[in-house]
Amino acid sequence: MDGQTITAAPVLILLGPPGAGKGTQARMLEEKFGLVQLSTGDLLRAAVAQGTEAGKQAKAVMDAGGLVSDDIVIAILRDRLAEPDCAQGVILDGFPRTTVQAQALDTLLAENGQRIDAAISLEVDDAAMVTRISGRYTCAACGEGYHDDFKQPSQPGTCDKCGGTQMKRRADDKAETVASRLEAYHAQTAPLIGYFDDKGALTRIDAMGDIGDIAADMGAIVKTATAR
Ligand code: ADP
């Protein structure tokens, strides 16, 4: 350190069970605040698609709805965080998911003179998550998310954002796998709500309402947290 004031790039964490809308909200925050969405789920799916060593090890666990080992996920996140675009600030979507990952994140950020600005817990009813997840799909080209019941593109089959016409559904979005993912969330990730609360970084929001209303609540939290 050279004694100058360094304005560290914002670091935001989204917590919430599968289907809570972390990805949808992260993308909206990305656009609104110029932050970079880092989804460990997306990074792992990319590793699986590329057939990397980490991807090979992660695939079976992901298909079963369990959590990939901390070592693999932390290594993937560390590499991604080191890329230049992350200097503008990041929204972590799906990381950390265990206490070990949360501690590793603290260490990684401290090495860069950064800290967590806010952890936002998206609070939802578990029972609604299965419906939400089993109806969702994304544009294969740009990743924009849609839903059979809640958010159809204005022209069926055509992405509103990029005009892409290929839509895809995730392999682990089947009802039986979703049950395992919810179980993993409650056993391993939900304790992080208390972890961030103890650090004074946590805000809870009701994420059962309208996507736009939730985005407005999130935007207000991000504004306050990043203005500090
Ligand atoms: P969701 O939040 O809807 O479950 P993600 O795309 O974030 O979806 O994650 C999909 C899968 O990727 C998880 O079920 C898990 O197997 C794996 N995964 C993603 N992030 C992590 C993480 N931080 N630690 C361990 N496994 C992870």
Judge if the upstream peptide bond of residue 17 is cis by omega within 30 degrees of 0: no
Contact between 94 and 40 under an 8 Å Cβ cutoff? The reply is: yes
Pocket perturbation via mutation, ligand 1, pick of 38, 57, 67, 103 by most ligand atoms within 8 A of CB: 67
What residues in the chain have per-residue pLDDT under 50? 1-6
Amino acid identity, position 124: V
Alpha-carbon span 136 to 143, nearest angstrom:
12
Return the ∠ at Cα 167 (arms to 165 and 170), rounded to 5°.
165
Alpha-carbon span 66 to 182, nearest angstrom:
9
Residue with tokens 């103890």: 198
**Helix segments in the chain, DSSP class H:** 22-33, 40-50, 53-64, 70-81, 99-111, 126-134, 175-184, 191-198, 211-226
Contact between 134 and 77 under an 8 Å Cβ cutoff? The reply is: no
pLDDT digits (tens, 9 = 90+) for 32-83: 999 999 999 999 999 999 999 999 999 999 999 999 999 999 999 999 999 9
Contact between 162 and 139 under an 8 Å Cβ cutoff? The reply is: yes
Please give the distance, rounded to the nearest whole angstrom, from the Cα atom of residue 69 to the centre of ligand 1.
11
Joined together, the tokens standing for residue 71 give 């070592």
Q: Is 25 in the pocket of ligand 1 (CB under 6 A)?
A: no
For residue 131, the model assigns a pLDDT of 87
Contact between 161 and 139 under an 8 Å Cβ cutoff? The reply is: yes
Pocket perturbation via mutation, ligand 1, pick of 38, 61, 62 by most ligand atoms within 8 A of CB: 62
For residue 7, the model assigns a pLDDT of 57
- Which residue's CA is minimally distant from atom 23 of ligand 1? 95
For residue 228, the model assigns a pLDDT of 67
Please give the distance, rounded to the nearest whole angstrom, from the Cα atom of residue 42 to the centre of ligand 1.
8
Does 204 qualify as catalytic in the annotation? no
Q: Is 94 in the pocket of ligand 1 (CB under 6 A)?
A: yes
For residue 204, the model assigns a pLDDT of 97
